[in-house]
Chains A and B, each alone.
Chain A
Amino acid sequence: MKKTGAEIIVESLKEEKIECMFGYPGGVVIPIFHHLFNAPFKFILARHEQGAVHAADGYARASGRVGVCIATSGPGATNLVTGIATANMDSVPLVIFTGQVSREMIGNDAFQEADITGITRPITKHNYLVQDINDLARTIKEAFYIASTGRPGPVVIDVPVDISKGETKFHYPEKAVIRSYKPVTEGHPRQIQKACRLIESSKRPVIYSGGGVIISNASEELRNFVKKTGIPITTTLMGLGAYPETDPLSLKMLGMHGTYYANHAVNECDLLIAVGARFDDRVTGKVSEFATGAQVIHIDIDPSSVQKSVEVDVPIVGDCRLVLAEINKSVKAPQIGPWVDRLMKMKAENPLNYRDSESVIKPQYVVEKIDELTEGKAIICTEVGQNQMWAAQFYDYTEPRSFISSGGLGTMGYGFPAAIGAQLARPDSRVFDIAGDGSIQMNIQEMIVAVQHRLPIIITILNNGFLGMVRQWQQLFWDKRYSHTCINFQPDFVKLAEAYGAMGIRVDHKKDVVPALQKALSVTDRPIVLDIHVDREENVYPIIPAGKSVKEMITSELI
C-alpha cells in the first residue's frame, strides 16, 4: 500500500520510537501536521520555533536520546537557526524537519521560501533537501544515525510540500549504510598502551574532562579511571557532573571562570589527560602559555578536534567510554602523592568564595541554597552570562546530564526552553532554570507551554537589572562605561508569571530566599518564577581575561 510523504515521516518517527516531538505548524507542513494529529508520540507545541528547537535540545541532553523538532519553511525554518547552531557547537543529537516550498517553486522567491539547507550548511552535522519521495524514509534513517553516532550533532531534513503530499511505498530500512561515514569508536591499542605508560610515569598528572564524557555515557568509566589512578580531575563547563564535585580529587571547573586550583593544576602539570574535551579558548586562554610543561594525551571521537589548538603527544581517536574502559584494564597508579597533597592544600586555601552579606542577596548564595535544598539532585539549566557561571561554580554537580547549558555558542534564551525539554524527558526530577533578568526575556513566550503541560520548572531569576556579564567586562576592561547594559526598566516578573498561569514570587531579602525556594519546591503542577533581586554589581570571580593566561587571573578579594 502506498503512503504519502507526510505519513512516511510519521511512520518513520514511530520506527525510531521517539517519545516526544517539538514544533510549530505553518503552511507547507500542514500535510505533515495532518498526520501528527494522531501520532502515538507526544507533540509539544512551542510558541516560537526557537523555543521548539531549544526544547528538543534540552530533551536530548537530559535523556541522551535524539531530540526531534519541526517547523515550516521560510521564517519558521530561519527561527530555528540559533537553536541549530547551539546544538551543533555542543554536539547535541537533533533531527530537525523543515517544510519547503514545492520543488518546482524552489528558487523562485516563493512565499515563505528560504534556502534552509544553504543557511544551515555550516551549522549542522549534515543536512538534506529531499528531492525524491523514494529517498524520504532512507533519509530519515540516515539522519537519526548521523545525528546520534560519532560526534553527535543536528541534522536538518528539508521536505518540499509536494514530497509530503506525494505517494510511494513505505519501507523503513533497518540499517543506515553510508560508505563515507564510519566513525571510529575503538581507540588504537598501541596508542592506549602508550597513554598508560605515560600516565604511570607521570609525576604531576591532571585529568581534563569535557562534554564528550557525558555524551558518550562514560561517567562510570571516568570514575573508575580516577579511582584506579588517583589522579586529580577538573571538568569543563560542558563536563560538569561527569565526576562528582563533592569528591576530594575533584578540582571542579577550569577555564576563564574556573577555580584557582584547577587552573593552577593545569598550568603546573607534567601530563594533561584530555578526555572528550576540545581545548576551547574559554579553557586555554592564551594557547602559547597553556600547560606549557605538560605532555598531552587527548581522547576524542572527533579527529578534527585533535591537534586543533594544542600539540598533542598521544592522540587517541575513539569513543571516550570504550577508550577509558580499555585504559582501565591495564593502567597502574602513578606515584603522585606529593602532587596530590599540594593540590589538596591549594584547594583548601583557595576555594571558590564570595563575600556574603545580610543587607543584599548575593547570587552565589541563591545557587548554594538551591544545591542544599535539592540535595544536589536537581537538573540545572542555565541561561548565559553571570547566571550561568554562578550556577556552574556554586552548585556541586554529582551526576551526568544534570547541568544543561549552552557552552559553545553561549545562547541567551536557551535555558528556559531547554528546561521544558529536560522536564519532559525526566518528569521525576526537579528542573531549574537559573536565569538572568536579561536572558529570561529572550524566550519568555514559552512560559505558556510549561503551564499547559503542568511542568513545575523553577525559574530562578538572579535579577540584577543589568546584562551582568557584559557589565562586568565593561567594569573591568572598558572604563566602567556601562553602555546599554543597564536593563532595570523591566516587566513585573511576578505579574507576568501570573498572567501566564504560573506562580510568581518576588524576593528582596536574604531571609526570604530559603522560604521562597521551599515554597517553589512544594509546587508540582505549574512553573514557578522566583524573581530574586540580587546585589546589582556582583562579579564572577575568578576571571582570566580573554586571551590571557593563568598568571593574569583576577580573583575575588578573598583569595
Chain B
Amino acid sequence: MSQHVISVKVENRAGVLARVAGLFSARGYNIDSLAVSETEQTDVSVMTIVVRGDDRVIEQVKKQLNKLIDVIKISEHNLVTSVQRELALIKVNASPAKRAEIYQLGEIFRAEIVDISRKTITLEVTGEPDKIDNLIELLRPYVIKELIRTGRLSLAKEKE
C-alpha cells in the first residue's frame, strides 16, 4: 500500500472535517497525518491528508471526496511537484555533558533549541518528512522523552 498526499480545498465550515475523515474511516483507513488551516481566502480551508492505501481505493475515495458538496478541489501531491513540510518538537534527555553533542546534531538539521532544563533539551525542527525522521533516529540514543509533530503541509509548486 503506497502513501498518498491529498490536498483538499474545502468550504471553511463546521462539519466538513468529519465528512472528509468519514470517507477514510469508513474504509478502515487510518489517516497518517492531517493538517487543516485557513487559506488566503478566509472562507476556504485546505486539508492536507497523508494516508496509506490501495491505489484503486484511494482513487475511489478521491472521487467520493469530489462528490462532497463542501469540497471545492482535490489534488494529489508528491515531492517533485510540491513543497512539503512538517514541524516536530522533540524533547530529549540531555545531561550537561551531552548538551554540546545534541546541540551540534541540531545545528546540522537547522533545528532550534526552544527549551532547555537541567535534564532535557527541546528541539524544534522543520523540513521534509525524511529530514525529520533522520533527526529523530539520530536523537534516539539519547532517549527521546516526548515527541510531537504536525501534520504535513503541502503546497503545489508554481508551474513555469
Residues on A facing B (Cβ under 8 Å): 117-118, 121-122, 125-126, 129, 131, 146, 178-181, 302-304, 307-308
Contacts and interface: CB of A to CB of B under 8 A. Distances in A.
Interface string B68-96: 11111000000000000000000000000
A180 B64 contact: no
- Measured as residues with beta carbon below 8 angstroms from the partner, the interface class of chain B is 10 to 19
B124 interface: no
Contact of A302 (B10, B11, B67, B71): B67
A-B complex: 10 closest residue pairs judged by Cβ atoms: A304-B63, A180-B72, A126-B69, A181-B69, A304-B64, A304-B67, A303-B63, A122-B22, A180-B71, A121-B22
A126 B60 CA distance: 19
Interface stretch (B12-20, B30-38, B129-137, B141-149): B12-20
A445 B26 CA distance: 34
A304 B66 CA distance: 8
A303 B66 contact: yes
A117 B69 CA distance: 14
Contact of B14 (A131, A180, A181): A131
A180 B15 contact: no
A180 B70 contact: yes
Nearest to A150: B67
B46 to A, nearest CB: 13
A306 to B, nearest CB: 8
Contacts, number: 36
Contacts of B59: 307
A131 B14 CA distance: 10
B15 A146 contact: no
A289 to B, nearest CB: 18
Contacts of B70: 180
B69 A180 contact: yes
B73 to A, nearest CB: 8
Nearest to B69: A126
Contact of B26 (A122, A126, A304, A307): A122
A304 B71 CA distance: 14
B60 A304 contact: yes
Contacts of B64: 304
A308 B64 CA distance: 11
Nearest to B43: A179
Given A131-B14, A180-B71, A308 B66 contact: no
Nearest to B19: A121
Given A304-B60, A304-B66, A308-B60, A179 B72 contact: yes
A302 B71 CA distance: 15
A129 B14 contact: yes
A129 B15 contact: yes
Nearest to A303: B63
B47 to A, nearest CB: 14
Contacts of A303: 63, 66-67
Contacts of A146: 69
B79 to A, nearest CB: 27
